[in-house]
Amino acid sequence: MADSQDLTGLFAHEMAARLRSGETTTRELTAAHLARAHATDHGLHAWLSIDDDRALAEADAADARMAAALADGAAALAALHPLHGVPVALKDLVSVKGGQCTAGSRILEGYRAPYDAHITERLRDAGAVILGKTNMDEFAMGSSCEHSAFGPTANPWDLERVPGGSSGGSAASVAAFQTPLSIGTDTGGSIRQPAALCGIVGMKPTYGRVSRFGIVAFASSLDQIGPFARDVRDAAALLHAVSGRDERDSTSAPEPVADDLLHLPASDDEAASWLRGKRLGVPREYFVEGMEPGVAEAIRTAVADLERAGATIEEVSLPHTDYGLASYYIVAPAEASANLARYDGVRFGHAVTEGADYLADYLVTRGSGFGPEVKRRIMLGTYALSAGYYDAFYLKALKVRTLIKRDFDVLFDAGFDALVGPTSPDVAFRFGAKLADPVKMYLSDACTLPVNMAGLPGISIPCGLSEGLPVGLQFIGPAWSEARLMRAARAYEGVTAAAAWRRVQPHDLARLAQPGLPTPVERVAAAH
């Protein structure tokens, strides 16, 4: 029997193979990941809650289903989802009945979800084991995971640096081998950017591919749920498990879920062969001013690797990209100000009652429950929606959003299979480096947020190192092309399978188990 370190070091598809062969059990697999998470999270703070009892109960149920399938024969075994028995972590804005759901905010501290989110139901149906809930920027507003009300998460590549955000805990937990898979949400890059900074795979699907039922809302026309994993095949399996129409979400699309997601090539050579004859566009606007030279070099090297593998590479233009950041920071805060109006201290969550009157209690509740970044965006959004400014700001931003979408449509209608470029203009930055300048922080998402504005799918995969830290390569495709993007990303994995940087693990993994290691909160406090 493999020891716990061997089990946590496997890819999810390797775990599935061992479960089906009887080499290990779901309980052993779950116990190994729970033990690693408990032993290594003090200095990382990737988790807001770890539910050992529930996870082990789900593991036992998965083992019972596996034993029944093995007894019933090959057909019953084949009917099990590839994620059956595999552990997964959820960002702490996904509802799990009876479990906490804080969205990284004090205003939801103590709240217990009364029902399961759609994706929670889908994961249970697939037989996956939910380990717990991961840390995040408050209400998914941030690009560094420094805006969590419960303290920041560190990056396992360098514990003095951020993991990206807002899904920083989900990304860091996968990169630190605490879980093979996790769920994040992406409103302007909050899956792809932390995937890039943590050196893992992260996908934002087409808007409407995954139901948002049971997900705490930030900006409802932009939010989308997606997977984190350590390779493309695992990310594809997780996306397959959570995708599909849900009648409880009117924006959930009836598009069929492609079984191709479960059949990506295992062979690197076969995977790489997909690139032959494919036409890939490189948007010149994505090489933004201020991009770190090492990041630009890694991206250009990756593009050259794709071309050597048989792809046709063309420089293209997305002319309205420069307006993406400004329009996003009107649309997203406007929707956030409306969504967050429900946190009034009356119906659920944090409440402060001083015995004065409702309005006074409302103001004190929201003033003490929301953090500074959330307050900033509520004020921005309320201003943009106010009388006299609605037409000048919000409606104009929606018109620009249409132009951004049209830029992508023109290229895909011209026959490009995908667009390729950087995910983030920089590698993981140090704690506090961008907190004093919100605009500088917002620029971290300059290469990702146009995809959200257009409602398109995008995936980030590792493509090398800059100054010893991961760089992310982003593929973008037309609506409903997730399977194609997974093939493109898997092809790049195949092309670079022998690259030396692929064998480099996060530098600070060994430090995580050291006794007395300071928490991220303590390290940040000591630095200031």
Contact between 175 and 153 (Cβ < 8 Å): no
Peptide bond into 166 cis (omega under 30): yes
- Burial of 415-431, coded b for 16+ CB within 10 Å and e otherwise, reads ebbbbbbbbbbbbbbeb
Query: How many Å apart are CA 209 and CA 191, to the nearest integer?
Result: 15
User: Which of the residues 105, 182, 190, 211 is marked catalytic?
Assistant: 190
Query: How many Å apart are CA 24 and CA 3, to the nearest integer?
Result: 10
Provide the strand spans (E) within 372-508: 418-422, 458-466, 469-476
Q: 458 phi and psi, to 5 degrees?
A: -150, 150
User: Which of the residues 91, 133, 278, 434 is marked catalytic?
Assistant: 91
Q: 34 phi and psi, to 5 degrees?
A: -60, -40
Per the structure block, which two tokens stand in for 498? 């022998």
166 given a catalytic annotation? yes
190 given a catalytic annotation? yes
Local structure of residue 460 (DSSP, 8 states): E
| H or E stretch covering 128 | none
Which amino acid would we find at residue 80? L
User: Which of the residues 95, 143, 166, 211 is marked catalytic?
Assistant: 166
Classified as helix, coil or strand, 228 is: strand
Contact between 174 and 182 (Cβ < 8 Å): yes
173 given a catalytic annotation? no
CB hemisphere CA count around 227 (13 angstroms): 30
Contact between 214 and 90 (Cβ < 8 Å): no
Query: How many Å apart are CA 520 and CA 151, to the nearest integer?
Result: 7
Contact between 309 and 278 (Cβ < 8 Å): no
Q: 63 phi and psi, to 5 degrees?
A: -65, -40
Which residue shows structure tokens 């900033």? 376
List residues with catalytic annotation.
Answer: 91, 166, 190
